């Protein structure tokens, strides 16, 4: 387990091929499908990569293939498209707040955090509203969840259950483009002018849908928890809404939605002074690195005035840093902006979570994600 900021950064920024992303989602739990035979397992990894969990998806790819597909997908997340989504998000957040603000209480996960992100990514991609709830069920259990269907944890394509639906969406857009992200995806080209095959397009679309709503909903929920425990911070951000982006960054540093990522040593190497043989799976601890006292002064303090407030691991780093980071930041910012604009006070519900000094919060049982299972707050409308 790699907990230091400098050591984590060295691994995540590696471009020499020492570290592979092949195990990045579920890490050491299922083990490797082969026994490392030497100090360089590159050939073995290439032979068995298709057997590894999530092996068909961008998040577990390396090298040229990963670079090409990442650039293709990144070219679709343009400033113009995000700006259009921002306008939609403001109206969406207000409609969601309308549904609970007069009641004076909110179950944050289903009513606001998750609803905001699922509708936002669905609008961006062009997924019909009637299909969204069913698609969420088809995603299945989180990939590192202790409980749940094993197929959703260790298969090479855990999103296979959504494939018929997304294949149809993409096929429809090949015939009749609709101006949404999936329409642009089927028309996308690599730098050499060639087109991705249809199976690749389907994988990218399904992965984008899954990744595009998951971690940001956790970020929004944690942001609201922190606000609920800090009335003075609420008042400040209501007076200074221009500081909400800094608040979001400090949430990402202090208690971000992704706890860890995993990397596989392809050749014998070292982490700091520790010898690491080929075949070792390293757990890179994002939240530990973001709270490393060698990097951050007084890391246990939540401080939006912190110098270099974006200097954290909340969205990872390097070639596999979160492609959707601008979208995630925007969604979290607007969700908090609209909530603070509509309410005078957010308080943690003592009925569900206990009194100050004796809070009880439950989290989803996953190794990878920092996921509140539920969060109940009381609200005083403006």
pLDDT, average across residues 137-154: 55
Which architecture, in CATH terms, is 5-381? Orthogonal Bundle (1.10)
Length of the chain: 382
Structural element, H or E, at residue 98: helix 79-98
Residue in the block written with tokens 């925007």 = 330
pLDDT beyond 60 at 141: no
Structure tokens at 170: 């993409």
pLDDT, average across residues 120-128: 89
Read off the pLDDT of residues 346-374 as tens digits, 9 standing for 90 and up.
999 999 999 999 999 999 888 888 999 99
Structure tokens at 318: 């390097």
Torsional sign, CA 152, 317, 280, 61:
positive
CB 317 within 8 Å of CB 325 = no
- Rg (C-alpha) for the chain, rounded Å, is 21
Q: At what angle do helices 231-239 and 325-342 cross, to 10 degrees?
A: 100
Q: How many CB atoms lie within 10 A of CB 336?
A: 23
Q: What percentage of the chain has pLDDT greater than the value 90? A: 72
- CA–CA gap between residue 44 and residue 47 (Å, rounded): 5
Q: How many CB atoms lie within 10 A of CB 356?
A: 10
Give the domain ranges of the chain.
Answer: 5-381
- CA–CA gap between residue 50 and residue 67 (Å, rounded): 18
Read off the pLDDT of residues 12-22 as tens digits, 9 standing for 90 and up.
999 999 999 99
What DSSP designation does 141 have?
S
Torsional sign, CA 164, 165, 168, 170:
negative
3-state secondary structure of 20: strand
Label residue 151 by pLDDT band (50, 70, 90): very low
The average confidence (pLDDT) of the chain is 91
For residue 297, the number of C-alpha atoms closer than 13 Å in the C-beta half-sphere is 7
């Amino acid at each position: 387990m790699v907990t230091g900021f400098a050591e984590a950064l060295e691994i995540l920024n590696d471009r020499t091929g020492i570290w592979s992303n092949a195990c990045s989602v579920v890490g050491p739990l299922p083990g490797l499908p082969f026994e490392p035979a030497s100090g360089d397992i590159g050939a073995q990894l290439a032979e068995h990569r298709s057997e590894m969990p999530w092996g068909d998806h961008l998040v577990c790819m390396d090298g040229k293939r990963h670079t090409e597909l990442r650039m293709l997908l990144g070219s679709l997340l343009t400033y113009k498209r995000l700006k259009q989504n921002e306008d939609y998000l403001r109206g969406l957040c207000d409609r969601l707040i309308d549904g609970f603000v007069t009641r004076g209480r909110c179950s944050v996960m289903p009513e606001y955090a998750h609803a905001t992100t699922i509708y936002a990514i669905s609008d961006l991609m062009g997924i019909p509203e009637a299909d969204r709830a069913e698609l969420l069920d088809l995603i299945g259990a989180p990939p590192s969840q202790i409980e749940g269907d094993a197929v959703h944890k260790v298969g090479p394509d855990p999103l296979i259950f959504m494939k018929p639906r997304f294949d149809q969406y993409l096929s429809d857009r090949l015939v009749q483009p609709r101006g949404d992200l999936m329409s642009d995806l089927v028309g996308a080209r690599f730098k050499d002018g060639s087109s991705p095959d249809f199976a690749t397009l389907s994988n990218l679309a399904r992965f984008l849908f899954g990744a595009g709503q998951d971690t940001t909903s956790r970020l929004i929920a944690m942001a609201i928890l922190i606000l609920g425990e800090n009335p003075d911070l609420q008042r400040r951000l209501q007076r200074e809404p221009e500081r909400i982006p800094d608040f979001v960054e400090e949430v990402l540093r202090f208690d971000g939605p992704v706890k860890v990522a995993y990397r596989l040593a392809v050749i014998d190497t070292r982490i700091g002074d520790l010898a690491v043989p080929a075949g070792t799976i390293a757990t890179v601890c994002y939240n530990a690195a973001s709270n490393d006292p060698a990097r951050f002064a007084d890391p246990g303090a939540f401080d939006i005035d912190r110098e270099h407030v974006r200097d954290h691991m909340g969205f990872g780093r390097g070639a596999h840093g979160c492609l959707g980071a601008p979208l995630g930041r925007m969604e979290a910012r607007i969700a908090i902006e609209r909530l603070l604009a509509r309410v005078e006070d957010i308080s943690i519900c003592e009925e569900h979570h206990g009194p100050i000094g004796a809070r009880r919060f439950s989290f989803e049982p996953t190794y990878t994600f920092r996921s509140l299972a539920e969060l109940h707050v009381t609200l005083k409308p403006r």
